[in-house]
Structure 1
C-alpha cells in the first residue's frame, strides 16, 4: 500500500498538480439553490469507490494529497464541496459566514450527488469517508436516504461540539433565541471572518507541513476561505445533535477518534457507537482533530485502519 509522506510531499507537488490537471475531472452540479462543485477520478481496474464528505471550512482543494494517494492505491474517488464551502455556492452576502438553513440540507445535497453524478460513473462497491462535520453529514445521509453503500468510515465525526468558553446549554439557548429573533445570519458570539492561526496556536494538526499547505492553498485561492459560524448554523447543528439518537445506520461503521480533539466531543462518538450493533471505534493516541492531515505516524495508522476496513467489506 502506498502512503504519502511528509518527507516526500514537497517534492511530489508537481506530480500531484499534474494528476489533477490530467486525470481528475471537476464540474458543477446544478441545484435549485445554487451550483455545487465536485470532482472525481477513476483509475483503471478500480474495484472500490471512496466518496469523501469533507469537514467545515474544507473542500476538495484541501484534499489533494489524500485524493492522489487513494487513486494511486487503485480507488475511484468522488468528492463534493458542501454548500457554503469550498467552491460551491454560498447563501449569504458575506461569503465568510458559515451558514446552513437546515442541517438536513447537506445530506440532501449528498443524496443528489450520489444518485446523479456518482451513479452515472460508478456502479460497484462504494464506501463513504467522512471527516468532522462531513462525518455527521455522511451519517445523516445514510440514516435518511435510500442508498447502496457497503460501509462508512468516519474521521473525528461531529456528533457533538465543544462550545469553548460558553457552557453548552447557554450556547444552545442563545442560538435558538437568536434565530427566533431573526438573527440567524449574524455571527455567533466570538466568530469572525477567515483568519489563519499561527501553527503554534492551531488545534487541527501537529504536522507543520500539512498545515502550511492547507493555509497556502487558501491564501492563493481566497474564494475557498470561510470564517466562523452563524447562529443559524449553530442552531441547525444543535437540532441535528438532539435527534441523533433517533437515527440508525445499519451498514458497517468505523469511527476514528482523535485523542487530543478539542473541536468535537469524543464522548458523543463513544455513545453513538455503543448503540449501533455494526459499529466500531478506535482512538488514535496524541492525535489532533484532523486525522487525515496529521503527522505521518498518526495519519498512516488511521489510513491503515481505513484500508483494512475497506478490504473487510464485501
Structure 2
C-alpha cells in the first residue's frame, strides 16, 4: 500500500494539485433547494469504490491528499460537499453560519448523490468512509435508505457532541429554547464567523503540516470558509443523536476513535457499537479528532485498518 507522508507532502503538492485539477471530475448535482458540489475519480481497474462523507466545515477541497492516495491504491473515490458547506449551496444570507433545517436533510442529499451519481458510474463493491458529522450522516443514510454498500468505516463519528465545560442537558435545553423563541438562525453562544485558529491552539490534529495546508486552502478561497453553528443546527443535531439508540445497521461497521478527541463524545461511539451486531471499535492512542489528517504514525495506522476492513468485505 502507498501511504502519503508529511515529509513528502509539500514536495508532492504540485502533483496532488495537478491530479485534483485534471483527473478528479467535478460537477454540480441540482436539488430542489440548490446545487450540491461533488467530485469523483475512477481508476481503470478499481478494486472498490470509497464514498467519502465528510465532516462539518469540510469539503472535497480539503480531502485532496486522501483522494489522491486512495486513487494511487486503486480505489475509485466519490465525495460530495454537504449543503451549507464547501462549494455546495448555503441556506442563510451569512454563508459562515452552520445551519440545516432538518438533520435528515444531509442524508437525503447523500441518498440522491448515491442514486444519481455513484450507482450510475460504479457497479462494484462500495464502502462509505465517514468522518465526524459525516459519520452521523452516513449512519442515518444506511439505516433509512435501501442501498448496496458492503460496509462503513467511520472516523471519529459524531454520535454525540463533546460539550466541554457545559453540562450536556443544559446545552440541549439552551438550543431548544433558543429555537422556540425564533433564534434558530442565530449563532449559538460562543460561535462566530470563520476564524483560522493557530496550530498550537487547535483541537483537530497534531500534524502541523496537514493543519497548515488545510488553513492555506481555506485562506486561498474564502468560498470554502464556514464559521460556527447556529442554535438551529445544534438543536437538530441533538434531536437526531437522540434517535440513534433505536437504530441497527445491517452491514459491517468499523469505528475509529481518537483517544484525545475534544470535539465529539467517545462514550457515545462505544455505546452505539455495543448495540450493533457486526461492529468493531478501535481507539487510536494520542490521536486528536481528525484521524485522516493526523501525523503519519496515527494516520497510517488508521488507513492500514481501513484497507484491511475494505479487503474483509465481500
Uncovered stretches (5+) of structure 1, i.e. residues with no partner: none
1:193 aligns with 2:166: no
The residue that corresponds to 2:142 in the other structure is: 142
Query: What's the secondary structure of 1:28's corresponding residue?
Result: strand
Q: Partners in 2 of 1:210 and 1:120 — Cα distance?
A: 33
* RMSD between aligned residues: 0.6
Cα distance in 2 for partners of 1:20, 1:243 equals 38
Q: CA deviation at 1:153?
A: 0.1
In the other structure, the counterpart of 2:166 is 166
The number of aligned residues is 314
**Residue 49 of structure 1, CA deviation:** 0.2
Counterpart position of 1:272: 272
Structure 2: gaps spanning 5 or more residues: none
Task: Quote the Cα distance in structure 1 between the aligned partners of 2:248 and 2:231.
Answer: 27
1:91-110 deviation digits (Å, cap 9, x = unpaired): 00000000001110000000
- The answer for the alignment partner of 1:241 in structure 2 is 241
Shift of 1:20: 1.4
Partner of 1:53: 53
Q: What's the offset of the Cα at 1:119?
A: 1.4
Q: Which consecutive segments of 4 or more residues in structure 1 shift more than 6 A?
A: none
In the TM superposition, residue 151 of structure 1 has moved relative to its aligned partner by: 0.1
User: 1:51-101: per-residue Cα shift (whole Å, max 9, x none)?
Assistant: 000000000000000000000000000000000010000000000000001
Q: What's the counterpart of residue 127 of structure 1?
A: 127
Q: In the alignment, which residue of structure 1 is the partner of 2:310?
A: 310
1:40 aligns with 2:40: yes
Normalised to the residue count of structure 1, the TM-score between the two structures is 0.99
| 1:205 partnered with 2:202 | no
Q: 1:183-228: CA deviations, max 9, x gaps?
A: 1000000000000111000010000000000000000010100000
Aligned to 2:17: 17
Separation in structure 2 between the aligned mates of residue 172 and residue 34 of structure 1, nearest angstrom:
30
SS at match of 1:124: coil
Write the distance in 1 (CA, Å) between the matches of 2:119 and 2:254.
24
Is residue 12 of structure 2 the alignment partner of residue 2 of structure 1? Answer: no
Match of 1:117 in 2: 117
Whole-angstrom CA distance in 2 between matches of 1:122 and 1:307:
19
| Superimposed CA distance per residue, residues 233-276 of structure 1 (whole angstroms, 9 cap, x where no aligned partner) | 00000001111111111100000000000000000000000010
1:205 counterpart SS class:
coil
- Corresponding residue SS for 1:213: helix
Which residue of 2 is the match for residue 293 of structure 1? 293
